[in-house]
Structure 1
């Protein structure tokens, strides 16, 4: 009994300490006015791009102040396509900003100017400016509807910045004036940026989990550089990482995670840069520990310190003690032993297959916890007391700690009893989950019974496996032509084409891979040389559309040089020919997708963008997305295309269920089997049209098909630009990102994209449709195993893995899929044959 009480006492002390180990900053408490309305921010720290008059200068842009002429007003009228006007605030040090407030110019009833919308840009050093985006990717914030009311908007995610700019946005020419306030607290971490490998995708049996840093404000290519994101947003992930604090986001949203197999060194290295040299006491890392899914906190961390320009020779090493029987997420506190440094580089060693972090904070100098407001600077007297400010929340740390300890005592008593009674049950459950967990390091001698029964057999990668461009040279059939193949796989600067004639009709045109990621981050159609004559004639005239008639709705995605936006277009009927019909009465805005080239795009990107306009203007088919108009008389260059109100087919089907008793009981929205066949038939029809022109799509999938009313389908190319589908693409070192789970073996190994490889992708797309997009193709295989499986197609030793027949798929449809995946490209059906088969089945009501 004495021993049990000692355990109680130890756990109580531990939990009380853990109660204090919170995030360095709490967004729910960090909501203090930072000094625009209170006067702590000095006049010299408030600037603007221009001013209407001396009496509407930047210093009068203080929330709830009526001095001068009552607000900051820019010199000229703000135009829809002009975002040059801004009001800038210098906070003198880094702050964690969670809330903003705006107001118009009232001036005792004389003024009536306000900003209906605005954007925010911020900077930590004054040179690199970052555009704030919501967790859904939106930049525009709704502002004021009159000149006197204060409108408060939460920033989700919050921002860490010294400089903040408010930039008024309008949908028509108008005069605007603004008064603003920032709410938050001082950023005591001093952390300016962290550099880390990009988060990865975990594939669970029922769905993929995306562990990327979706709010990172630095650059993301192969790694994350010079930015801050989810590891510093003040939000700690839940015990179950597949769930989130945020509504309607993908599984894994709160965490950034990495797989052990991607790091031969056995560790993930993260470097932290700070605003100045600091005396560091501790680092707190919030880790997931859901070990039933092979996720554990790090087993060791090794940290190196840089004070000025040189790294210290002797690192600091720390090994945490993490209870194996507790699957809860937790903070791990690392003692940094008062090292002086301006940068810290830490190597976190894996304890299992996965390592997931949601928050990393530092304590340095006298910094404790961000629960007190910033000390007021000398300046104008405050006209608002803290107790009168609804955004000001007092934090009684001692009271909270006492309550936390009392709750901890109750929790410990209950938890220990439960743990003692159920210890054996837990052990059995864990053993069972580990037995059935998928293991990609299994040896080639593993029996078929131990592999997933959905697939015939999984062949693990050999130790000599390399990237596809090198792998193909190792295949015996290609050994003699290895040099030729090596040159073929690296020929990214040219595009050669051959045409295969079958029964006197061109069946498909082969084209080497040039660059899958187009200027807007989305795929563009491959143009074989035999069809270039279609582009050599007179340009198709496209109307120039007035930019001011476009209203931004949301950002669909982005790429290296461009972005795709969902917009409403007013007056589009006047700019369209009779061939395009809208199911909207004249005068009503039309939903459109706007592909926009960024202003910093190079000359080659501009030429490619104009070529894409020329190509798109010639594609006219009911099942192909249409180019409606362009904006090319001034920057940024834009092309305006159709957009369907029901979004992309992947998201549409995933929200529905097949017709049946189960759907009736759950009251879920359903899609009938006939409607699924109708969807597939339309996709086949659109691809038949493209193949008739010898156009190769290269990225056919449900994510690239849009859904309108009555299950109308149009093939598009927005999928690659969307963060939601980043897990569908595999980045090959030194080459473009590839949708390998939809690609034919010859496209992956030889870099050849043809109409026949589009047929292969159609088979995978049909498989997605009949599975209601509930599962990623080859979900139980890693990307590397998918590539190895293409080698089995090349070797043709009958060891290939095929996608399994969907539950509600009749044999006749599965035979169509299998015919699309034939090894010999000449034996695959044409889109004309596929369309005819599906169309006939629809007419006769059977498949």
Structure 2
């Protein structure tokens, strides 16, 4: 029973490793999750220009926060935001006072100050020491600045800067994610200089972004490069940043300069008492230059006022064959502490770290008084209790009387009973919902009022999507409600009255009379929606876009969007799996990309994969280094039907062999859990690649700004059309073509994938209907939204939207001025075809002939849309111009 209670009361904290490129979620200024009481300012002009009106895209009050009077160059007026918890900030967006066209005030520049405790304030500087950020050039546009290095803070102050006396007003949004690591500061010896043979320059291995105190060659009281989310390369001279010096990514020390002690001592201070499970240290191991990971480490723990005498020690396995930089995981035996002191012992002349993170748990046990005085979001106190391991040399426990423990016992027992009852209720609800899903799967699907409805994925397609605040995808975000739940949410059936097709039917009464004829315009038939007859077809000579009896494989991992002819699947189920079996232990977990009802999608490193695949491998030669792969994994508790579907998906994926389609590389099916390993480009998806770049010009060359040329964009479009031409030749329907599903390698080679829906970063691109599906409605053809028809022709429509994304450099969402509901209503205008439908505008970078091609992709009648073969032939000549 005690063990059961212990398991119940363990509340695991999130892993602290953060990827700055993906930690870009809006933190709640625009949608109001940051309440007014957490917004303060040094001054305000009027009541209606107070700090509560400094919300991005909000026109409340007089439209913005405005400090009192004319702002002078010497002024330090500020807007302060309390995030209620430590937060990892990566992006900051600003806007002027538009006030429905009446405003004319904005900040052309600003500075950021921040604090982790509300007492000690620090000024943000970029990696070159610059404090002032560029602001706005007008009153309505949103200008965003990447924070490099990122800020770890609870309090942030925005300080407008002006060169001349002027009136300034601001609206802001912060982007990032929670700093669950809990690390407040680390102390370490100052980094040192290295002179390398054959390299005339001196290599500085200092912590250049450290925000604490530099005194007597010691860093103390701050955070810096070891917590910025950027891991160093295998070669410590190679850098990931622009315009910085060699060795920038590492903090390094030389053995003979540390006296005779032979170790580097570091101290880590945390926000509250934690039980530490492990520490991960990213260390360089270029042994050919005298650099190795540490040979061993000893860590002491300080739970209260004094250090415990017994350390945790760990010896590493030194590797003199693989020079790759790597994470070394140090187990910390679940020891409780608020501070750690670790000694890292040298294994060679140099030791270099680029990242350190901690994994910990808050364990609540009824054996010790709560630790008081630690504030958490919402103003509540964080009550954390723990037990100290029994030992002959136990540290002094926090002062507490036994009488207080006895007085708290009835309360704790009541809390335990309540938690157990809640767990029983949750388990009952889960079982009940699963039962409802099974009943609905067996029941015949009915047409809405005997007419038409949107056909969605089955209950087996239930997925789990993390829906945190989403990163900025548009300079003009859509109006209307948004989902702001920051937790994982399992999607179950909702109230039938919520179903949008019913609303559509009320708005489109003519839909029931002519939907069948319109749907049959492409010559395809769907037995469960309608049967086409010759006189219903707009054009009996139209190409046949087959969708009858297709098999959809979306339910296992929540990511696959392909629709495949059933005949293909049946024939494949009688064949053996042709993909090779890969050693499971050589897959190293990096990140969870998504999660489904029966499986998960992981980003992993595959050690030795190019050598395993041998000659003809689709992977580049890495000289034995690991490569990034996407691993779809079936859960061990999956149903037999899910297991069969997973094997079918493997067999179908093994058929795909095209240079512009993600390939199945290998499998792990000899034991559970079943896994399939597919390509994953280290440069990520096309959406993220393009939104971080500008169009090539003399300005981008002069300032080393990442850029792409018009020729590059056209080449990308040709590759996507080529890959889709291949899928169409197999009668495969993708159903989710977009830049987020196009992965990119270092040579700008595009490979079409299907991971977009399972990634948190793009949750705003999907619209939830009836709790049974999430659909990329901004990329979907009208017949897909209104009738549930997914064909090659609807993929052509999505291709047109993907082209539009490419030539806007993914700087905004399609139909960014429309809410999701308005996008659905606009599909009704396409159905009516009365000239009131809204098309996407022509991107300034897009040649007129190419925009005409996009417009053909968005033809109302599917027979008027080009084929992918025609698109490929039309686009290919543009590349050679």
- Scaled by the length of structure 2, the TM-score of the pair is 0.46
- Scaled by the length of structure 1, the TM-score of the pair is 0.48
Greater RCO, CA 8 A, separation 6+: 1
